[in-house]
């Protein structure tokens, strides 16, 4: 061993931990012994000491010693993922090579090549996410690539992000929004795909808490208020089931937990219903202990349906046909005699472990025996399949396609030989063709679905058996883009479209070069780009494409070039060009953007400054809403609610234009608020609603749009409100009007 490494080992072994550090080491070792099959205490202790020493005198945004972050990540690896002590060691050291003077060589000498390779994988993907779609996608692919080599890399990355989200309140507001949006749109979907549902749920809730704190607090309060009633209902619902399962000698555990907060919020948004009308707020889970098998799950299902009426459309058998991430369980929704719907999940203890731990569970089963290898291999095959697919030119499209596939429900399609393929819901025969092989997709002519000839655009449903009929030549069609949902199919069609566009653009360039030669004009590519921008094209390539396709005349271009050449104006900066320059360098422009208009309602970056601003029509923010500011190209500030979809897009694509804004204390202005009202139609209902607003609340109404059908009334009221509390007071008053069933803020 080289002397320098011997010296480092001795230095680490002799390093004295303080009282707090000793306490954290004891807790970490206890968690390792509780959750891991075996623990090398010396290795973990040495890694803990190197972690403390290398991050000495460094603090986090909270003011706490920095070493606590990798220690907490290591605790998550032990307690949540319970993989092995190597992953705990790597978690302790995951920031050392990136942030300190520790080298990979030192890591290898002190902790072995496996730990070194994990740290190397983490270092390559760490710190690159900067909330721009291109960089997100690039890093996303690096993350997947590193995972294909050692899955512990991605698990540590999840643990790292989870702890960062748990401690996010110490960051400035804008950084919180950036990180929360990134977590919601990249980390949570990826956790979902890897079957890490427990982690995915917590990441979504923590992100939601930052993005829309008012809705988060409202739902937490509602769940707390209903907790006792929920527990009583679960006990009453399960009493006959528990009794009968006990008589049949089942060894089982029952869990009745509320669904995570963000999933409840999504249901409210999708169904446009208030909290009180979302009935499936929790799921009851029955977990059979070993040696119970999947056959016993069906016996338990039989017991439940003897007592309660099942809803056939809500039954899902993920035991016979597991999800692509290995998830297995029986799902059924039943109705009680009181008419209440209850979701019940039935699974074995092993199925529950895989459902909670996903990827981590497959890894652990693979390490213990070979039975888990197939499931793990499916993950790795899926990763490599994504990476091997033709890569889209726009990285933003990669992210969009990828997220689409993650959140779709899955359907199960059979090949003519009976092989099962898993596709996203909404997939067509074209998607299926590409799923079999890229060449099959490229040469597909038609399809047989369940023995009948069908067009390739035909949407598939679970259980379909599909045969693809191919030709000898490539038969790709750009119009297929609207009919496919999988990343693999979209990427190849997009590549084909780009190739076709490039060919047309080359034809356009040839037409220009012939015309320029005939007119004896010489012009550089740089000058052509300037001319293209004067015609409002993004670049010369786009202009040539328009010429090649016949949408833009080559003679028109020739006349303009000749005119500009004769006047020597190709190098002048016209007003359009200056505007383009300002758009390309927004930071310089912003310094002069904050000195006009008046600022009576908003504090910009904590101060009541003179800033010209307006409110976004897409989300109509009112005082009390959490808001962000977006600096437009002309220097004005547009105010969005922080949970607005458009705001999320701006955070992802133009984060440097986002500024912190908050409401001033005293605002002498009224704002437009929307309220959706649903109820039983009756004579005088509209009059009662308007009377509540005008007389009881002295609130001016701008408009009311109503629709009545089948005895039901639905209306949208737009009123002038002072702030969020005023709007909430209106909602509470309208809820008391006779016949009204639902009153919610209209988005």
pLDDT tens figures, 581-608? 334 333 333 332 232 233 456 676 555 4
Active site residue 99: yes
276-290 tens-digit pLDDT = 777 667 788 999 988
Give the torsion sign (CA, 301, 304, 309, 315). negative
Q: Where are the domains of the chain?
A: 3-196, 224-357, 495-572, 587-663, 671-745
743 near 676, Cβ under 8 Å? yes
Alpha-carbon distance 184 to 201, whole Å?
10
Q: Output the pLDDT for position 132.
A: 38
CATH code 3.10.20.30 for 224-357? no
Q: CA 691, 692, 694, 699 torsion: positive or negative? A: negative
CATH number 1.10.3210.10 given to 3-196? yes
* 357, 326 Cβ separation under 8 angstroms: no
User: Domain 671-745 sits in which CATH superfamily?
Assistant: ACT domain (3.30.70.260)
The phi and psi torsions of 61 (rounded to 5 degrees) equal -60, -25
Confidence (pLDDT) at 589:
30
DSSP 339: S
Going by C-alpha positions, the residue among 413, 409, 426, 408 that lies closest to residue 463 is: 413
| Gap between the Cα atoms of 722 and 673, Å rounded | 9
Q: How far is CA 665 from the centre of its chain?
A: 34
Q: What confidence score (pLDDT) does residue 684 get? A: 85
State residue 577's pLDDT score.
Answer: 43
**Phi then psi dihedrals of residue 58, to 5 deg:** -110, 135
- Among 13, 34, 41, 98, the active-site one is 98
Shared fold status for 3-196 and 224-357: no
| CB-count burial class (<10 Å; 0-12, 13-18, 19+) for 248 | exposed
> Which tokens go with 457?
């655009």
Tell me the DSSP string of 543-605. HHHHHHTTSS-HHHHHHHHHHHHHHT-TTS--HHHHHHHHHH-HHHHHTTTTSSS--SSEEET
pLDDT averaged over 10-residue windows placed end to end, the chain, 747 residues = 62 85 92 90 92 89 89 92 88 86 86 88 58 49 59 86 92 88 85 81 93 89 82 86 90 83 85 73 85 89 90 86 80 83 88 76 57 56 56 53 60 81 88 92 88 87 87 85 88 86 89 89 85 81 83 82 74 46 35 34 58 79 87 76 79 75 77 86 85 82 81 84 89 86 81
Q: Phi first, then psi: what are they for 225, rounded to 5°? A: -65, -35
Catalytic residue among 5, 99, 542, 654: 99
Specify the pLDDT at position 282: 73
Q: CB–CB of 319/297 below 8 Å? A: yes
Q: Which two tokens stand for residue 494?
A: 């997009």
Q: Spell out the long-range contacts of 471-474 with Cβ–Cβ below 8 A and sequence spacing 24 or more.
A: 471/443, 471/445, 472/443, 473/443, 474/442, 474/443
Q: Which residue has the tokens 């897409």?
A: 618
* pLDDT for the residue 122: 80
Q: What is the pLDDT of residue 92?
A: 93
Q: What is the pLDDT at residue 168?
A: 93
542: annotated active-site residue: no
Beta strands in 362-435 (DSSP E): 410-414, 420-424
Tokens of 291: 């040696």
């Amino acid at each position: 061993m080289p002397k320098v490494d011997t010296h480092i080992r001795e230095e680490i072994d002799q390093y004295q931990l303080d009282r707090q550090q000793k306490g954290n080491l004891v807790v970490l070792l206890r968690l390792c012994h509780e959750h891991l099959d075996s623990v090398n205490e010396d290795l973990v202790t040495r890694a803990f000491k190197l972690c403390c020493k290398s991050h000495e005198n460094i603090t986090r945004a909270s003011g706490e010693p920095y070493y606590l972050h990798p220690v907490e990540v290591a605790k998550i690896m032990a307690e949540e993922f319970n993989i092995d002590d190597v992953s705990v060691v790597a978690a302790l050291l995951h920031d050392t090579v990136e942030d300190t003077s520790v080298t990979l060589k030192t890591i290898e000498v002190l902790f072995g090549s496996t730990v070194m390779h994990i740290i190397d994988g983490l270092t390559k993907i760490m710190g690159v996410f900067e909330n721009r779609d291109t960089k997100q996608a690039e890093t996303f692919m690096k993350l997947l690539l590193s995972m294909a080599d050692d899955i512990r890399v991605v698990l540590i990355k999840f643990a790292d992000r989870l702890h960062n989200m748990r401690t996010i309140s110490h960051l400035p507001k804008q950084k919180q929004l950036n990180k929360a949006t990134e977590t919601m749109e990249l980390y949570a979907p990826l956790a979902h795909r890897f079957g890490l549902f427990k982690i995915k749920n917590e990441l979504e809730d923590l992100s939601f808490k930052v993005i829309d704190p008012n809705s988060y607090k409202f739902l937490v309060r509602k769940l707390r208020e209903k907790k006792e009633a929920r527990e009583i209902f679960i006990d009453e619902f399960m009493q006959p089931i528990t009794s009968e399962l006990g008589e049949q000698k089942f060894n089982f555990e029952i869990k009745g937990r509320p669904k995570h907060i963000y999933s409840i919020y999504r249901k409210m948004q999708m169904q446009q219903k208030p909290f009180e009308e979302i009935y499936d707020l929790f799921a009851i889970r029955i977990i059979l202990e070993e040696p119970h098998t999947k056959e016993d799950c069906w016996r338990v299902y039989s017991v439940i349906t003897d007592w309660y009426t099942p809803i056939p459309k809500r039954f899902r058998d993920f035991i016979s046909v597991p999800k692509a991430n290995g998830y297995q369980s029986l799902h059924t929704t039943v109705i009680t005699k009181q008419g209440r719907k209850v979701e019940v999940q039935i699974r074995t203890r092993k199925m529950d472990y895989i459902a909670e731990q996903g990827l981590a569970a497959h890894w652990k089963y693979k390490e213990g025996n070979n039975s888990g290898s197939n499931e793990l291999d499916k993950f790795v095959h899926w990763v490599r399949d994504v990476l091997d697919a033709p890569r889209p030119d726009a990285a933003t499209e990669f992210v969009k396609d990828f997220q689409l596939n993650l959140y779709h429900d899955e359907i199960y399609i059979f090949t003519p030989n009976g092989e099962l393929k898993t596709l996203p819901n909404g997939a067509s025969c074209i998607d299926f063709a590409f799923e079999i092989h890229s060449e099959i997709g490229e040469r597909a002519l038609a399809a047989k679905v369940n023995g009948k000839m069908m067009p390739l655009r035909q949407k598939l449903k679970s259980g379909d058996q599909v045969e693809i009929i191919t030709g000898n030549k490539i038969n790709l069609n750009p119009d297929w883009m609207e009919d496919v949902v999988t990343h693999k199919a979209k990427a190849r069609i997009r590549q084909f479209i780009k190739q076709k566009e490039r060919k047309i653009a080359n034809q356009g360039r040839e037409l220009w070069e012939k015309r320029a030669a005939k007119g004896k004009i010489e012009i550089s590519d740089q000058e052509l780009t300037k001319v293209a921008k004067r015609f409002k094209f993004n670049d010369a390539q786009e202009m040539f494409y328009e010429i090649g396709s016949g949408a833009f005349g080559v003679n028109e271009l020739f006349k303009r070039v000749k005119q500009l050449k004769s006047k020597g104006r190709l190098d002048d900066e016209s007003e359009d060009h200056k505007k383009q320059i300002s758009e390309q360098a927004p930071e310089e422009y912003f310094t002069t953007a904050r000195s006009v208009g008046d600022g009576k309602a908003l504090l910009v970056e904590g101060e009541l400054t003179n800033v010209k601003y307006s409110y976004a029509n897409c989300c109509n923010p009112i005082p009390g809403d959490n808001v962000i500011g977006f600096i437009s190209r002309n220097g004005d500030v547009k105010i969005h609610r922080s949970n607005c979809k458009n705001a999320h897009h701006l955070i992802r694509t133009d984060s440097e234009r986002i500024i912190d804004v908050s409401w001033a204390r005293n605002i002498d202005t009224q704002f437009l608020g929307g309220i959706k009202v649903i109820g039983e139609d009756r004579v005088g209902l509209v009059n009662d609603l308007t009377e509540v607003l005008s007389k009881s609340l002295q609130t001016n109404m701008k408009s009311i749009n109503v629709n009545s059908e089948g005895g039901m009334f639905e209306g949208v009221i737009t009123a002038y409100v002072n702030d969020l509390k005023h709007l909430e007071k209106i909602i509470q008053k309208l809820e008391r009007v006779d016949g009204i069933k639902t009153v919610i803020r209209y988005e």
